[in-house]
Amino acid sequence: EAQVTQNPRYLITVTGKKLTVTCSQNMNHEYMSWYRQDPGLGLRQIYYSMNVEVTDKGDVPEGYKVSRKEKRNFPLILESPSPNQTSLYFCASSERQGGEQYFGPGTRLTVT
């Protein structure tokens, strides 16, 4: 089954404790992206990747890092999480630039 998976689905952590949210897709897509969703703001793009080792900033990259060492994986790293990074995070992948995006189920992160 074609899918995008994210782990963990729920995470409560404390300020400053490094964490990684994993994202994996099994569709051999070149394009992958991370978004955060906050009430009333829709989805905002954090980072995206157009291929292995090719990443670029979205609209809200501050406080986040990404890497793309393999085509299927695109982890999101929060080196020093802060409460303003409490949000619902989505990973997505696409076969082509500007094409339909397939979304993961989301990761709900709470930073206290």
List contacts with other proteins (CB under 8 A).
Answer: 4, 31, 33, 35, 40-45, 48-50, 56, 58-59, 88, 90, 92, 94, 97-106, 108
- The dihedrals phi and psi of 43, each to the nearest 5 degrees, come to -100, 135
Least gap, CB of 111 to other proteins (angstroms):
18
Q: What is the secondary structure of 5-45 as a DSSP string?
A: EEE-SEEEE-TT--EEEEEEESS--SEEEEEEEETTTEEEE
Residue closer to other proteins by CB (options 85, 93) is 93
Least gap, CB of 21 to other proteins (angstroms):
14
Residue closer to other proteins by CB (options 79, 95) is 95
Measure the CA–CA gap between 81 and 71, rounded to whole angstroms: 26
Per DSSP, what are the bridge partners of residue 94? Answer: 31, 101
Residue closer to other proteins by CB (options 14, 54) is 54
- DSSP secondary structure code for residue 73 in this structure: B
Least gap, CB of 88 to other proteins (angstroms):
6
